[in-house]
Structure 1
Amino acid sequence: MIILKTHKIKLKTKRIFLTKGTCSHTFFYILNREFGYPKPDEEQAIDPLAGGIVQQGYQCGMLWGASLALGAETFRRYKDINKATVVAIQATQHVIKSFEKQTKCIECEDFTKTDFKNKWGIAKFLFSGKFLSCFKLAEKWAPEAIKAAHEGLELDQTQSTQKAISCASEVIRKMGGSDEEKVMVAGFAGGLGLCGSGCGALAAAIWKTILDLVKDNSWKPTFPDPVSENIINKFYQSTNYKMSCYEICGRRFKSTKDHTEFIRNDGCDKLINVLAQS
């Protein structure tokens, strides 16, 4: 029975990926339906995070999509925003561990061996058949992603009574986002689940900007996407062309509490304001 269910999930994942077109959209879509709450607008708005944040090669879009779905589910489960934030970050970390077991890395560029910032790199990726590796990974990991998502939401929650702040949630707050949207991106904190890679605040700003346009029926997927490119350019100017959380902050965060204290003490405040106004 389990083998049959796993096979069905794999087949469905391949079909969804072909229909939706991006890894980020695919995993947000799959997990939202696993939890029983489709969010079509929010799912479409995550398209630009594919390719490791607008083709920058950082964390795989599957992780951004999974994290948003986890954030949405924690908001439904917990009325307390602090608790929901902590659980969203912990669950994201658990899903990342599951992903790493499959790939031994979390960066899009490391897995695909492709520089998506380079026109020829993209052409080679498409015409050499390299893109099939992403389909195969999605198909293989989907059952494990669902399992890890459920496990992550049930982890020890002893930290959940503490005051918790996510840099990504702060961006959404300053952009006028709802409590649900703030919790949805909470797992992006510290370079996605505190792993120190591509900036989670940047990812949140891109997603929220596109979401508002989607809801207003004024955004169509294009490649490259000028809206996302504009945000990326302002971000790079503000960070001296650094992208990873570790490089920008000059440190890694050991826990949600550690990250919260950093943000509370105005860490990344200037960058958060730049992103919120972009």
Structure 2
Amino acid sequence: MSWIKSNKVKLKAKRAFLKKGTCSRTFFYILNREFGHPKDNEEQAADYLAGGILQSGYQCGMLWGASLAVGAESYRRFNNQSVATGMAIKATQNVLDSFIQAANSPDCGEITNTDWKRKYSILKFLVTGKMVTCFKLAGKWAPDAVQAANDGLSQSVADLPATSLSCASEVVKRMGGTDEEMVIVAGLAGGIGLSGNACGALGAAIWMNSLQRVKNGTFKSSLTDSESEKILNAFLEVSNYEMECSKICGKQFESVEEHSEYIMSGGCQKLIETLGRR
């Protein structure tokens, strides 16, 4: 990406952050427009992934939003549903690596040093100007995010299994999602790009539930959301109150093939079914 193009993307990211209000929505918005395919409803539905899933401090919302945009683009580039799913996961791994290089951590809590569940900590975040940290990071990473997404989606499909599956996609399928919506969330698999962090299936359920409400006109962005909290609580009961994929599954997946085989063999079935009913 040229210096001029890079600086234009940085400026767009900062302006979008100010306008959209959440890091997750901002990066879904930015990457979609760099790909040339805006998706306003889907972008708005990403709001509650900010702050590391309902402000829980896990993966930064920029990662969630970027991964969703990668999935949307993967669906457009690849005619085969299985290939699109696998490539969304592989490209998300590329995006994750890029983000960690920029932020030194994937997690919102570590980047902001803020406990989003405590009012005092949130107040401190606002008063001390730590929000500027997020604002600067958004501008800094945006060009690299676009490049990482394109590079990731340009990788070879040769190492993909015959059938690529994503736990996140399986949840959206059970919630009545379309083929496109299933691929949009595919990269969230295994805790975003198989990294073992906070559960991608949970993020997919929250996003899909929000999207359904955006479509029927009942969605409202706020600091808290009772519908999303219900999904989180149902998830925690099934996951034995663990949030991270690697702890829930007892392993971190090394490849799309390994994750796909795990899902095919019934891995996380109860969790997927529980989230799919939300």
Normalised by the size of structure 1, how large is the TM-score?
Answer: 0.98
1:63 alignment partner in structure 2: 63
Quote the offset at 1:226 in angstroms: 1.2
2:147 alignment partner in structure 1: 147
2:16 alignment partner in structure 1: 16
1:82 maps to amino acid? S
Taking the TM superposition and a 5 Å limit, the aligned residue runs for 1:130-169 are: 130-160=130-160, 162-169=162-169
Q: Is the 8 A contact 2:191 2:197 kept in 1?
A: yes
2:28 alignment partner in structure 1: 28
Q: Deviations over 1:130-167 (max 9, x none)?
A: 11100000000011111111111101221235211100
Taking the TM superposition and a 5 Å limit, the aligned residue runs for 1:55-204 are: 55-160=55-160, 162-204=162-204
Taking the TM superposition and a 5 Å limit, the aligned residue runs for 1:208-247 are: 208-247=208-247
Q: Deviations over 1:64-85 (max 9, x none)?
A: 1111111111111112111001
- How many Å separate the matches in 2 of 1:89 and 1:186? 6
More displaced 10-residue stretch of structure 1: 113-122 or 205-214: 113-122
Q: Which runs of 5+ in 1 are unaligned?
A: none
2:220 maps to amino acid? K
Taking the TM superposition and a 5 Å limit, the aligned residue runs for 1:243-258 are: 243-258=243-258
Paired residue secondary structure (1:160): coil
Q: Which runs of 5+ in 2 are unaligned?
A: none
2:6 alignment partner in structure 1: 6
Quote the offset at 1:240 in angstroms: 1.6
Paired residue secondary structure (2:160): helix
Measured on the aligned residues, the alpha-carbon RMSD in Å equals 1.1
- How many Å separate the matches in 2 of 1:161 and 1:249? 21
- How many Å separate the matches in 2 of 1:12 and 1:71? 21
Count of aligned positions: 278
Q: Is the 8 A contact 1:86 1:159 kept in 2?
A: no
Q: Is the 8 A contact 2:161 2:256 kept in 1?
A: no
Q: Is the 8 A contact 1:194 1:253 kept in 2?
A: yes
- How many Å separate the matches in 1 of 2:121 and 2:240? 25
- How many Å separate the matches in 1 of 2:8 and 2:155? 27
- How many Å separate the matches in 1 of 2:169 and 2:12? 32
Q: Deviations over 1:18-46 (max 9, x none)?
A: 00000000000001011111000000000
- How many Å separate the matches in 2 of 1:262 and 1:184? 20
- How many Å separate the matches in 2 of 1:4 and 1:251? 43
Q: Is the 8 A contact 1:198 1:243 kept in 2?
A: yes
Q: Is the 8 A contact 1:199 1:244 kept in 2?
A: yes
